[in-house]
Amino acid sequence: MKHVYSFPIALIASAAMFIACSDDATLTHVESYESQHDHSFEVNTGSSETIITSSETQITSSEALPVSSADVVTSSSSVAGPVTYTYYGAELSGRDQFKYGRFEARMKMVSIPGSVSSMFLYYDDSWMKDTYVWNEIDIEVLGKGGTMWQSNIITREGDPSIKSNTSSESKPLHEFGFDATEDFHLYAIVWTPEYVAWEIDSVEIRRDTLGMSRGTHADADQVAFLTETQSLRFNLWASKSAGWVGKFTGDELADGPKEQVIDYVRVYAYDEATKTFTQSWQDDFDGDDLSDHWGVGNWEMEKVELSSLNVVVEGGFCKLRLSREAN
């Protein structure tokens, strides 16, 4: 903020008269100056950030003013104190458990620096690590732009000595050929014992099959290692990994939340004997609340807290919100 101090002509005239009439007048001259500070940093407190914004100060004064308690104008510039925010994301967590199937969702996604907007299958105990295996299949629109997306399988053996997961992230990222944040498109994950496939608008973009090997552990054949039942989930959150998704600042949330909007979800069962899919159910989110197929996330997810309040059903859509709240 710039503070400019000036003095009325009458005051300057009075000062001049005073100088003319007084030989022992004491004068001060305040030089004009500009002080600019640009401090920005993050304090990682789980899901909050502390940001000190930049400020400017400028003082301009007239020359030859007498030192007098009545005439000297003093000022102090103030720098705004730290502004802190808590950031909230959302997760729609499926209650049903699946072993293979076809999973579709018509969605409009989110992409701001640092964000992850996703649809995925997940073995619910994967996070426990130790002797629990990790099974996961992802579609993710990342914070580097709404025209790109990432497909991925994540696995890990149930061996406490193994600390890292095996990931098969799509590199480079897939190109949509459109901006996924501007309109609705159909996303699909297809999971069978023989292959995993990813589709956009009913067009297969990637297929991983049995026998494809990654790494040296028992989960190197990832398709074969997807042995656990998984739930269908959707989430919107902010990552600490700037190299992966861009640096999250939260500035894009100043005007309100960002929303990943789900129009409908369809689930198909897979028949291993006939190798065909049959629709099991569809959720159009027509009511005022979630159906029995869903729960919501309420845990910390890197830079955000997942909040049940950020999963909203209205107007025939399920909306996952990324938002901030001043502390």
> For position 99, which CATH number holds?
2.60.120.200
Output the pLDDT for position 65: 38
* Mean of pLDDT values over 230-247: 97
- Checking if the pLDDT of 119 tops 90, the result is yes
Q: How confident is the model at residue 79 (pLDDT cuts 50, 70, 90)?
A: low
- The three-class DSSP label of residue 315 is coil
Residue range 33-73, pLDDT digits in tens? 233 333 333 333 334 343 333 333 333 333 333 433 333 33
257-295: per-residue pLDDT in tens? 999 999 999 999 999 999 999 999 999 999 999 999 999
Total number of domains in the chain: 2
Mean pLDDT of 312-320: 98
Q: What is the arithmetic mean of pLDDT over 138-148? A: 97
Q: Of 148, 150, 151, whose CA–CA distance to 196 is shortest?
A: 151
Q: Residue 81: its pLDDT value, please?
A: 80
- Average confidence score pLDDT of the chain: 82
d(CA 227, CA 159): 16
30 torsion bin: left (phi>0), alpha (psi -120 to 50), beta (else): beta
Q: Are 18 and 138 within one domain?
A: no
Domain limit, last residue, from 54, 81, 108: 81
- Please report the pLDDT score of residue 78 as a whole number: 52
- The whole-number pLDDT of residue 55 equals 37
In a domain, 159, yes or no: yes
Q: What is the pLDDT of residue 76?
A: 41
Spatial contact of 186 and 200, defined as CB atoms under 8 Å apart: yes
Say if residue 68 is in the same domain as residue 173: no
Residue 227's CB is within 10 A of a number of other CB atoms, namely: 12
Looking at residue 215, its pLDDT comes to 81
166 in the same domain as 113: yes
Residue 223's domain spans which residues? 87-326
**Res 21 pLDDT > 70:** no
Same domain, 240 and 175: yes
Catalytic residues: 136, 140
List, for residues 103-113, the tens digit of each pLDDT value. Answer: 999 999 999 99
Number of H helices, E strands in the chain: 3, 23
**Claim to verify: residue 188 and residue 62 sit in the same structural domain:** no
Which residue would you say has higher pLDDT here, 321 or 13? 321
Local confidence band at 90 (pLDDT 50, 70, 90 cut-offs): very high
- Residue 160 and residue 27 share a domain: no
**Are 66 and 125 in a shared domain?**
no
State the pTM of this model: 0.75
**Is residue 93 a part of any domain in this protein?**
yes
Instruction: Give how far Cα 45 sits from Cα of 42, 48, 50, 301, 304, Å.
Output: 9, 5, 9, 12, 10
Q: So what's the pLDDT on residue 112?
A: 98
pLDDT (tens digit, 9 = 90+) per residue, 155-166? 999 999 988 899
- Express as a percent the part of the chain with pLDDT over 70: 76
Instruction: Indicate if the pLDDT at residue 249 is higher than 90.
Output: yes
In a domain, 242, yes or no: yes
Q: Which residue has the higher pLDDT, 25 or 306?
A: 306
Could you tell me if residue 201 is inside a domain?
A: yes
Q: Nearest CA to 327 among 15, 21, 18, 43?
A: 43
Task: Give φ, ψ of 222 to 5 degrees.
Answer: -65, -40
Residue whose C-alpha is closest to residue 103's, from 184, 186, 188: 188
Among 35, 65, 81, where does a domain finish? 81
Is 175 contained in some domain?
yes
CA distances from 291 to 231, 237, 282 (A): 15, 23, 11
Query: Does residue 3 lie in a domain region?
Result: no
71 vs 177: which has the higher pLDDT: 177
Question: Is the domain of 111 the same as that of 66?
Answer: no
- Tell me, yes or no, whether 2 lies in a domain: no
Instruction: State which of 28, 49, 81 marks the end of a domain.
Output: 81
Q: Are residues 127 and 240 in the same domain?
A: yes
